[in-house]
A = this chain, B = another copy of it.
Amino acid sequence: MRFVPDFIAQFFTSGSPLYKELQNMIGFTPGNIALYELALCHRSNNSNTTENNERLEFLGDAILGAIIGEHLFVKYPTRDEGYLTDMRTKIVNRKTLNQIALKIGLKSIMKFNEQDYYLRDSLIFGNALEALIGAIYIDKGYGRTRSFVRKRILLPFVDIELLESLEVNTKNKLIGWAGKQGRKIEFILLEEKLERGRKKFVVGVQLDDEIIASSTAGNKKEASKNAAEEAIKLLDMTL
């Protein structure tokens, strides 16, 4: 109980519907139930700022990063570090996590101020999912947390092949848009440099005669893709 502040009222009790829902969600019987309560408690529920899930979210975020990192490292033995970093960023982005949290039904067992309309559409559910991962880690250790993330998050909800194809499409999307508008898009290598002992490539997106965006990365493909994303943002196109 060391990491859990005292709650006046416990909202899970062994055998209650909420408890069963949690058990279904995580796929095992929780040990220290108070940890899970804390993970599911958004700060809007409690004016005392220490009695919320933010510390566990910090922990869960770090553990999740490690688990996803390992997953990608093993799954793609021939892909370089830039690719792995990029895929991890895509998987652990806040919107994706929030969607997954909603899909597994985390919202229904969370404690937050439901009167606050702003919160209903915010990303607090993904944050709580990270906090839940932190709670599982403290309660059950690294191996069990890894199984949970793989079986309950990655396998059912994260389609890495789809994420990959989205990536390829960023550049095409931009080129296609320019074609329709009768304008010209070119990707131009603006600079090659050494940074902390590593080659870096600066790629710019040229629309007609003007460089409208640029990005730096360890390889040209990555830099082009990021520059394309920048340009798409700038042009206010939706992907």
Give me the interface of A with B, judged by CB distance under 8 Å. Answer: 2-3, 42-44, 49-50, 54-55, 57-59, 61-63, 65-66, 68-70, 73-74, 77-81, 84-85, 88, 94, 116, 118-119, 122-124, 127, 134, 137, 142-143, 194, 196-198
Contact = CB atoms under 8 A, between A and B. Distances in A.
Contacts of A116: 197
Given A62-B65, A124-B196, A143-B142, A55 B43 contact: no
B59 A70 contact: yes
Nearest to A57: B81
Contacts of A118: 194, 197
Contact of A80 (B49, B61, B123): B49
A80 B62 contact: no
A69 B59 contact: yes
Given A58-B73, A58-B85, A66-B66, 17 more contacts: A3-B74, A43-B198, A55-B73, A58-B69, A58-B84, A59-B73, A62-B66, A62-B68, A62-B69, A63-B69, A63-B70, A65-B65, A65-B66, A70-B137, A73-B134, A142-B142, A142-B143
Contacts of A57: 81
A85 B130 CA distance: 15
Contacts of A62: 65-66, 68-70, 88
A48 to B, nearest CB: 12
A75 to B, nearest CB: 11
Nearest to A113: B197
Contacts of A198: 43
Contacts of A142: 142-143
A233 to B, nearest CB: 19
Contacts of A2: 77
